[in-house]
């Protein structure tokens, strides 16, 4: 097997592992937007978090084992998954009543 064939084979094997889905949420004074974020199960997720408030926010999820502090008006990114099908709760640590779900289908 020549080098080009070996490279093509390795890329073909690795490509599914590199598959990634992007999702975005915004943190607002009255909660998160969208109301619920749906993603594909079995895929690594790049989740962009935009803080649209005038104060810092902390994306926190025990289910996803992630947390991210985002200053006012800033955007941050976290990576999760691949996830099993289900609902994964997250909230703003600084305003714990602001809660939402990442839903993997």
CATH of the domain at 26: 2.60.40.420
Pull the structure tokens for residue 68.
């991210």
* pLDDT greater than 70 at residue 21: yes
Residue 72, in any domain of the structure: yes
Residue 12, in any domain of the structure: no
Structural domain total, the chain: 1
Range of the domain at 65: 20-104
Query: What is the 8-class DSSP label of residue 93?
Result: T
Residue 87, in any domain of the structure: yes
Residue 9, in any domain of the structure: no
What confidence tens digit (pLDDT) does each residue in 46-95 have?
999 999 999 999 999 999 999 999 999 999 999 999 999 999 999 999 99
C-alpha to C-alpha distances, 14 to 10, 11, 18, 20, nearest whole angstrom: 6, 5, 6, 12
User: Which residues fall within 8 angstroms of residue 92, CB to CB, at 6 or more apart?
Assistant: 27, 32, 57, 58, 59, 60, 98
Lowest-confidence pick of 10-14, 39-43, 58-62, 64-68: 10-14
Residue 3, in any domain of the structure: no
Lowest-confidence pick of 7-16, 27-36, 63-72: 7-16
| Per-state percent for the chain, helix, strand, coil, to nearest 5 | 15, 55, 30
């Amino acid at each position: 097997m020549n080098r080009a064939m070996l490279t093509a084979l390795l890329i073909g094997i690795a490509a599914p592992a590199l598959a990634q889905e992007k999702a975005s949420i915004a943190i607002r004074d009255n909660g998160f937007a969208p109301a619920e974020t749906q993603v594909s199960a079995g895929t690594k997720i790049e989740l962009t978090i935009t803080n649209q408030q005038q104060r810092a926010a902390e994306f926190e999820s025990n289910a996803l084992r992630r947390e991210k502090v985002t200053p006012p008006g800033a955007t941050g990114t976290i990576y999760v998954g691949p996830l099993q099908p289900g609902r994964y709760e997250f909230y703003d640590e600084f305003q714990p009543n602001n809660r939402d779900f990442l839903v993997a289908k």
